[in-house]
Chain A
């Protein structure tokens, strides 16, 4: 089959004569959704953050971590158990971008050296945060979607200010709140729950700016719930995002 015949086969799909003709599989692929599906438009930025993070902490992209299974979200509204990854204050890694991914102990000897280097970096960055360092070194942590929002994730940045604690959420994959409802963020500790802001996501993925007047050290859990307009004020218990604050 020459190139012209191949082009004709691709375009017209002329039926085979006698036996399967070469090129039909290629034509079949053109009708396969897998060759037309588009990647996540935010994927390049996610990759960039992962690379920046990995440049600081090689642990974050260890093969074992990358291959770790994702535990299913629980059905009670309390989603995957999250492993904070922001103690160093660095960016989001591929592993970190998937909250709930199981962590494994690095098994490679060179990682011991990396661990020592990491500990030094942690110390330096923590000092910068305590001393009011810039936003790039603010503690970060991940939130995972629950069964109510299985495709949702968020990356949170915590910054202590004179007026309280600023928590910025970079929310991805959370559907716009249905008419008559809204999202509410809560911090939770032994003393109870405190609302730190509401939002609706009707403008699509993006940043949410929240303020907490209580100390995250005393209220270490962050949940986002669905609430109903005009309903009773207070906690609905319908959690869509869940995570542990690293502050």
Chain B
């Protein structure tokens, strides 16, 4: 873990206002993404975000500073989502979580991790590039339609799109390698 993260976790553990807000700003989105992809309900996902961040705070004092911060937060988020799912359904855990019980289901495991990684990568894009990616993928707009929506030349949209996807490919290359058969 980088020294900045170690310092952030230490201040977070101490309840420092700025550190709390920094941790929330950094991790609320990927935690929400994991919760939404797992639970599919916004109200429960919001609850998972709060519960996860609180659990992270409670555990921050025991966190090993030699480890990376993000996978640790992810593991807490995922476990919290499982707990909420069990609480809500009082039913067998869905296949996406089956590895938490008895068997390992690698494809299912990679799904929530990939969602986390994709969200984290999206947040690292410059705003103008992120807007283009969102409109292209989530809204399904063409470059022309995006240009009209944003009020910029289509050439600008194309160049932003190319840059954004090269950035995403660089940020998410390790995810692809993990999922290769």
- CB neighbors of A among B121-167 (8 A): 122, 133-134, 136-138, 140, 161-162, 165-166
CA of A38 to CA of B118 in the docked complex: distance in angstroms?
Answer: 14
B75: CB under 8 A from chain A?
no
* Among listed B2-10, B53-61, B96-104, interface-contacting one: B53-61
- CB neighbors of B among A1-50 (8 A): 1, 3-4, 6-8, 10-11, 22-23, 25-27, 29-40, 43-44, 46-48, 50
CA of A50 to CA of B53 in the docked complex: distance in angstroms?
Answer: 10
User: How distant is B5 from chain A, measured CB to nearest CB, in Å?
Assistant: 18
A114-154 CB contact bits vs B (8 Å, 1 = yes)? Answer: 00000000000000000000000000000000000001000
* Among listed A61-69, A174-182, A203-211, A223-231, interface-contacting one: A61-69
B69: CB under 8 A from chain A?
no
Most buried by A among B20, B47, B176: B176
A51: CB under 8 A from chain B?
yes
Count residues on chain B whose CB falls below 8 Å from chain A CBs: 56
A55: CB under 8 A from chain B?
yes
Chain B residues lying within 8 Å of A35, measured Cβ to Cβ, are 33, 37, 115, 118-119, 122
Chain B residues lying within 8 Å of A68, measured Cβ to Cβ, are 87
Q: Which residue of A lies closest to B40 (CB)?
A: A34
Out of A30, A34, A51, name the residue touching B37 (CB < 8 Å): A34
A202: CB under 8 A from chain B?
no
Out of B46, B118, B140, B177, name the residue touching A40 (CB < 8 Å): B46
Contacts A26-B176, A36-B134 hold; do A69 and B88 have CB atoms under 8 A apart? yes
Out of B37, B43, B169, name the residue touching A151 (CB < 8 Å): B43
A94: CB under 8 A from chain B?
yes
B51: CB under 8 A from chain A?
yes
A98: CB under 8 A from chain B?
yes
A74-106 CB contact bits vs B (8 Å, 1 = yes)? Answer: 000000000000000000001001100000000
A54: CB under 8 A from chain B?
yes
Out of B21, B53, B173, name the residue touching A6 (CB < 8 Å): B173
Question: A47 and B50: CB pair below 8 A?
Answer: yes
Question: A22 and B169: CB pair below 8 A?
Answer: no
Out of A27, A39, A51, A67, name the residue touching B87 (CB < 8 Å): A67
Question: B58 and A54: CB pair below 8 A?
Answer: yes
Contacts A32-B115, A48-B20, A52-B15 hold; do A37 and B88 have CB atoms under 8 A apart? no
Question: B54 and A51: CB pair below 8 A?
Answer: yes
Question: A1 and B176: CB pair below 8 A?
Answer: yes
Out of A23, A32, A44, name the residue touching B28 (CB < 8 Å): A44
CA of A25 to CA of B172 in the docked complex: distance in angstroms?
Answer: 12
Q: Which residue of A lies closest to B28 (CB)?
A: A39
B70: CB under 8 A from chain A?
no
Beyond A34-B32, A38-B29, 20 extra complex contacts between A and B, CB < 8 Å: A4-B166, A22-B176, A22-B179, A23-B176, A29-B118, A31-B140, A33-B36, A34-B36, A34-B115, A37-B32, A43-B50, A44-B21, A46-B50, A48-B17, A48-B20, A51-B20, A54-B54, A67-B83, A94-B51, A151-B43
Pick 29 A–B contacts, CB within 8 A, sort by A: A3-B173, A4-B166, A6-B172, A7-B165, A7-B170, A10-B169, A22-B179, A23-B176, A26-B175, A29-B114, A30-B137, A30-B138, A31-B138, A34-B32, A34-B37, A35-B33, A35-B37, A35-B119, A36-B122, A36-B138, A37-B33, A39-B32, A40-B46, A40-B49, A47-B24, A47-B50, A48-B21, A52-B15, A63-B55
4 closest cross-chain pairs (CB), A and B: A7-B169, A34-B36, A30-B137, A11-B165
Q: Chain A residues in contact with chain B, CB under 8 A?
A: 1, 3-4, 6-8, 10-11, 22-23, 25-27, 29-40, 43-44, 46-48, 50-52, 54-55, 61, 63, 66-69, 94, 97-98, 151
